[in-house]
Amino acid sequence: MFNLINTVKEKNPLVAHYTNNVTINDCANITLAIGASPLMSFSYEEVDDIVSAASSVVINIGTMNSEYIELFIKAGKSANKYNKPVILDPVGVFATKARMELTNRLLNEVKFDVVKGNISEIKFIGGFNVKGKGVDSFDDGSDATDIVKRVAQKLESIVVATGKVDIITDGKSTYKVNNGTQKLKGITGTGCMTASLIGSFMACTENKLQAATMGTLAMSLCGELSDKEDMSLGSFKVKLMDNIYTLDVGTLNKHAKVNFIS
């Protein structure tokens, strides 16, 4: 599975993003750093041109508003039409009614290959009671594997729930990523960037569960490797991008802590 890091660089897939205004620059840069090509659009007119040319599509509702609802729906449907892997990042779905309704519409009208959120977002989508502040997760650290599997079964898609342990499951098989650092919550956009990384890997293998795991692992592992004792947040973000760019099979073999539960 780790060899997919080379496939991304060989294939240089085009990852189309319909995303938010807060972290859009970071998403573009991390897509480049992992070896793929980003394309960001807010245009109804070019959905067909872009999605048909793309290798995968990422939809992120972080700064959704009414004028983008139909755009996101159209982009998702277009991804389905052209048979492109499509990833949903339902940022802060638990925070407002508007986000909940948009997420419901997206889940009903688009067939997503991967739904990625923090553990609060995933639990909320599964119909569980959740606590969260703003768009941030409340992670009590308890094992949520069974809950996440049930959400995956309900959605009939791969679900990625990030947290102290990242859970990636299709409802049957599950990968758990034990890498990470609290500092990843100290900068904005690490969740959004994880979706970009998943999109980058999705174009490189038929094994979508492994692709989703690799994207999640890349972020958690590079975060961990970037977090030194004396590393403050500005430098941490720079180092994170550095480590994504230099991530290779050797580093993955040496440091990745991934369990597979079939």
Number of residues that bind a second copy (CB under 8 A): 63
> Coil, helix or strand for 14?
strand
Cβ(93)–Cβ(83) below 8 Å: no
For residue 103, the minimal CB distance to a second copy (Å) is 13
Segment near a second copy (CB under 8 A); pick from 11-19, 122-130, 138-146, 162-170:
11-19
Binding mask 232-261 for a second copy (x = CB under 8 A): xxxx-xxxxxxxxxx---------------
Nearest-CA neighbor of 197 among 60, 49, 53, 41?
Answer: 60
Sign of CA dihedral 9, 38, 191, 236: positive
Q: Which of 83, 129, 134, 141 binds a second copy (CB under 8 A)?
A: 134
Distance of CA 177 to the CA centre of its chain: 14
Could you give the CA distance from residue 171 to residue 168 in angstroms, rounded to a whole number?
9
- CA dihedral (77, 192, 225, 15) positive or negative: positive
- Choosing from 64, 93, 167, 168, the residue that interacts with a second copy (CB under 8 A) is 64
Q: Which residues are annotated binding-site positions?
A: 40, 116, 162, 189
Q: Which residues are annotated binding-site positions for ATP?
A: 116, 162
Q: Which residues are annotated binding-site positions for substrate?
A: 40, 189
**Site residues (CB under 8 A) for a second copy?**
12, 14, 16, 20-26, 28-29, 32-33, 37-46, 49-50, 53-54, 62-67, 92, 95-99, 133-136, 185-189, 232-235, 237-246
